[in-house]
Amino acid sequence: MLIESAKKTLKDIFGYSDFRPLQGKVIDAVLQGEDCLVLMPTGGGKSICFQIPALTLDGVAIVVSPLIALMKDQVEALKVNGVEAEFINSTLNEEEQAAIIKKAVKGDIKMLYVSPEKMNSESFYYTLLQLNISLIAIDEAHCISSWGHDFRPDYKRLGYLKKQFKDIPIMALTATADPLTQKDILVQLNITGANVFKDSFSRPNIYLEARPAYKRKEVILDFIQQRGRESGIVYCLSKKNTEDLSRYLKANGISSGFYHAGMNSDVRDRIQNDFINDRIKVVCATIAFGMGIDKSNVRWVIHHNLPKNLEGYYQEIGRSGRDGMAAHALLFYGQQDYSILESFNEESERKVILNARLERMLLFAQSNHCRRRLLLNYFGEWTVDNCGQCDNCRGRQNLINGTVMAQKALSAVARLSGKLPKSILPQVLAGLRSPDVLAGGFHKIKTFGAGKELSLVDWENVINQLIGLGYLKVDYEQGTILALTPLSNKVLFEREEVMLHHLHQKIQREPKIEIKKPKPAVSIPREEGLFERLRQLRRKMAVEMGVPPYILFSD
């Protein structure tokens, strides 16, 4: 019944004839009073998921939204469509706020947008107690998780809502949350029993590409010049990078600006507006530039440096191609960035997990497998399909049949479910009696030494590929404990083929781009892959343990 009236509202107010498939399910659940976590890519239509129930149910819906500018836009758009919507945040003076609260208490508002700071104020808490609240929607819900890169301390306190308003449905909505962040959102909001609705994270219009960090400035300039008047964002690791790169682009005739948290907010707003209104074409920015960029025609995103993790990477590339038209995401990666980012984690008590996510980011960058497949498996969308469109799908892949290796690795995990750390599995398979293996009693299991034909380093490589492709998963919350996935059974019991990269191929690929302007000859720095680094570590370890290196690796 309610859903019928919801459909009519969709038509009458928004002019759409039907819900998108997931929207219908979410709205159904909310109308029945259930809590929900909604994961939909940018542009997927999250707003409708709370706006329609807000208009269908009795009372006022509270919408928590982190960005003042976005709040204002949404409320204005709703008002134009005849919806009684208002917002409360620090841009309104006390009288204005009091007037809106009065209206809300009287029941004359259907949707009240509130900033997270306001939600946490004591006076507003008493206001909430006086309202007839239909639902509470928390937009950009990943801001609540300190795992996310947009963490807002004010979000963290919203956990009181469920405790205080037990019967009011809470909706958390976000476009980016890996499994670790998803779980954290539910825990922080005290809605662990919520329905989780997941749309595919796939954004097929974004072309994915990664290159070694070699002659970055020149390659970026060439990339932009080839794209005429298209707008794009270059994400850099440091404030200085953003300034230097922007200057270089400007000196070469590109209309560019820079943006980072060290600038005062007037200047930042000006750059953002210039970009949104196409007065400048390129912004070189740190990750501070982001959430408010509701610009549909960003045609490309470049990562000048390796991002901290795939969640951040996905969020940032997602700012391109919102209009559904073709967009390009180019990622540069190098050992140096990896080391810098690793050193940032040094002091953290969550170092192990942060580094594990960082390593996953580097492995993604260095991989020869389909990038979309790697990305979707990272987000827990188990798939074996190659997209056929990314740089790796288009380029040479040099794969081998790794089914037997995969079976050995997966059976060891199956036997030791919930107990096997990622670093131990290669040692178990290679039959290495290291102190950690002995201490954990791992040498007693049946699969110990089942893969002696490969070296430790090769097994590390195989296992990293199996994780990337979703045949194994890492429970990052537990450190780096391995577990099977929905894809594992097919390999273990249905003999599904697993194709892996060749184990000894060089990770480095020559930069594919030709730089047109003649440049003085530069010697190409050797790009040392993670595996090369691991190889060196092994060598050192062998020396320290006083064993011949071939015991630890075969080359």
Minimum CB separation of residue 21 from Zn ion in Å reads 25
Of 479, 474, 484, residue with least CA distance to 413: 484
Binding map of Mg ion across residues 21-60, x = CB under 5 A, - = no contact = -------------------------x--------------
By beta carbon distance, the residue nearest Mg ion is 46
Q: Residue with structure tokens 């980012």?
A: 341
For β-strands 111-114 and 231-235, DSSP reports them as: unpaired
Does 481 sit near Zn ion (CB under 5 A)? no
Interaction between residue 206 and Zn ion (CB under 5 A): no
How far are the Cα atoms of 307, 494, 510, 532 from residue 526, in angstroms, in the given order? 21, 42, 10, 11
Burial bucket for residue 117 (CB in 10 Å: 0-12, 13-18, 19+): middle
Q: Which residue among 6, 29, 37, 46 contacts ligand ADP (CB under 6 A)?
A: 46
- CB closer to ligand ADP, 26 vs 467: 26
Residues 6+ apart with CB under 8 A from 122: none
212 or 290: CB nearest ligand ADP:
290
Instruction: Please say which residue, 114 or 552, places its beta carbon nearer to Mg ion.
Output: 114
Of residues 30, 48, 276, 469, which one binds ligand ADP by CB under 6 A?
Answer: 48
Cβ proximity to ligand ADP: between 218 and 311 the closer is 311
C-beta of residue 57 within 8 angstroms of C-beta of residue 135 = yes
Half-sphere exposure of 321 (CA within 13 A, CB side): 21
Could you tell me if 169 and 35 are in contact, meaning their C-beta atoms sit under 8 angstroms apart? Answer: yes
Interior CA angle at 469 toward 308 and 348, to 5°?
25
Residues near Mg ion (CB under 5 A), total: 1
Measured from the CB of residue 70, what is the shortest distance to ligand ADP in angstroms?
10
61: its two tokens: 């819906």
Q: CA-CA distance, 388 to 213, in Å (whole number)? A: 24
Please tell me whether residue 45 binds ligand ADP under the rule CB under 6 A. Answer: yes
Site mask for ligand ADP (CB under 6 A), range 14-43, x = bound: --x--xx--x----------------x-xx
- Binding mask of the shown chain, residues 367 to 386, with x at each position contacting Zn ion by CB under 5 A: ---x-x-------------x
Task: Give the type of residue at 380.
Answer: G
User: Among the residues of 262-383, which ranges form H helices?
Assistant: 265-276, 310-317, 335-345, 351-366, 371-378
Which among Zn ion, ligand ADP, Mg ion, none contacts residue 40 (Cβ within 5 to 8 A by kind)? ligand ADP
Binding flags for ligand ADP, 222-261, as an x/- string (CB under 6 A): ----------------------------------------
User: By the criterion CB under 5 A, which residues form the site for Mg ion?
Assistant: 46
User: By the criterion CB under 6 A, which residues form the site for ligand ADP?
Assistant: 16, 19-20, 23, 40, 42-48
User: By the criterion CB under 5 A, which residues form the site for Zn ion?
Assistant: 370, 372, 386-387, 390, 393
